[in-house]
Amino acid sequence: MARNMRPSASLARYHRAGREAGYAEGLAAGYHLGRCEAVNRQISGLPERRWDVKIMYVTSGKWYPYKPIDDAIARGLLPIVREVSCFRWRIPTRGYPKQDLVGAVLRERPDLVICLDGIAMDLKQIDRIRSAGFRTAVWLTDDPYFTDVTSKIALHFDYVFTLELNCVEFYKQIGCPQVHYLPLAADTAMFRPRRVEPGLRRDVSFIGSGYWNRVRAIDAVSPYLAAKRVRFVGQWWNRLRSYKRFARDIELNRWLLPQDTAAAYNGSKIVLNIHRAHDDASYNNNRLLIPAVSPNPRTFEIAACGAFQLTDVREDIVRFYVPGEEIVTYQSPEDMVAKIEYYLTHESERREIAIRALRKTLEQHTYPKRLAELLRTVFGD
């Protein structure tokens, strides 16, 4: 009879250990979430002033992942200007009449027309708007990866805003008179600390496409990650040499909506941020091979979730976050492994860094704050 009781007693110990571990993890997550909420209540994320101007915002005309950015910009303008009108641009297709942006501008007479991306725009209409005396601006979102295309677009606008520091001089050299550095930001309506179900909790995650440099980075540390709870979401991750090892942890060719991406960040102890290489052959229009030094939008979105971020080095990241205090960077596969292991086993330090990054993001890197920089550039203080 004792022989029959042993498996039952052993199973009970496993259940008890599991409950205790789950309780401890839930308690720590709840405490962290409470601290994040306190930070959110302390900081509004809004600039100190409003501009007495009317803005017409022209959307990109594209769907995901541009639509969430379009929505974030439209929302971000509302509290900082007198009036906003949103022109929902559509990429011309059979069955849809040509949109009359010029007529809308002449009717509404905005002080500034802001376009996102510009690749799908009817540039002849932009030229007519400028000829009528209205100021125009374009915010380029894919530099330097599309500079072969955007170099033909930028010249049609009065103001060019680029999220890549190295592209400022490039646009000036081709003849753009007003070029300014303006990275994207965090949409705090979507990317914010939130409670997640236990099934979404992971040790390490990465959300994004499997560009070759990212694939090589994960392959290099795959023996270590194989023993962790991991999650990869996006296209091309079947390029991994170690794909079979991680197949059950990969959601291949899936695009997550912003709220689902935020849930993935909130559920991860460590969120990897591996920037796209400027010379990746997968999908690139950067014939001049302009190198990238600026942080991607993911940098701000992860931080806005109160999540801990481990990123490769981008030279200009120090403009936005303090390495080692608000964000952690790695230099090599060995360094990545060492830092993942350290911060998985030093929870208090990990959460303190995440809290500091959240605070910095709400103070400086929201869309209202970014758009305030744009308005200050155009209209002054």
What domains sit in the chain, N to C, each tagged with a CATH number?
Answer: 51-183+367-379 (3.40.50.11930), 198-364 (3.40.50.2000)
Mean pLDDT of 374-380: 96
Residues in the chain: 381
What's the confidence (pLDDT) of residue 16? Answer: 67
Mean pLDDT of 97-102: 89
Cα separations in angstroms, 111 against 56, 271, 376: 8, 41, 13
Residue-averaged pLDDT of the chain: 93
Q: Alpha helices, DSSP H only, in the chain?
A: 2-42, 66-77, 101-108, 123-131, 147-153, 166-173, 212-225, 243-246, 258-266, 297-304, 333-345, 347-364, 367-379
Contact 185, 254 (CB under 8 A): no
Give CA 219 to chain center in angstroms: 24
Residue 83 reports pLDDT greater than 70 = yes
What's the confidence (pLDDT) of residue 63? Answer: 81
Contact 235, 169 (CB under 8 A): no
The angle subtended at Cα 69 by Cα 325 and Cα 303, nearest 5°, is: 15
Contact 303, 365 (CB under 8 A): yes
Q: What are phi and psi of 174, to 5 degrees?
A: -85, 0
Residue 68 reports pLDDT greater than 90 = yes
Contact 275, 312 (CB under 8 A): yes
Residue 21 reports pLDDT greater than 90 = no
Strand, coil or helix: what is 1? coil
What's the confidence (pLDDT) of residue 95? Answer: 64
Percent of the chain's residues with pLDDT above 90: 85
Q: pTM value?
A: 0.91
For the beta sheet containing 309-312, the strands, ordered from the edge strand earlier in sequence to the opposite edge, are: 250-252, 230-234, 202-207, 268-273, 309-312, 328-330
Count Cα atoms within 13 angstroms, Cβ side, for 149: 16
Summarize pLDDT for 107-139 with one digit per residue, the tens.
999 999 999 999 999 999 999 999 999 999 999
Contact 332, 340 (CB under 8 A): no
Q: How far apart are CA 276 and CA 214, in angstroms?
A: 7
Summarize pLDDT for 235-287 with one digit per residue, the tens.
999 999 999 999 999 999 999 999 999 999 999 999 999 999 999 988 889 99
C-alpha torsion sign, points 23, 25, 28, 33: negative
Residue 5 reports pLDDT greater than 70 = no
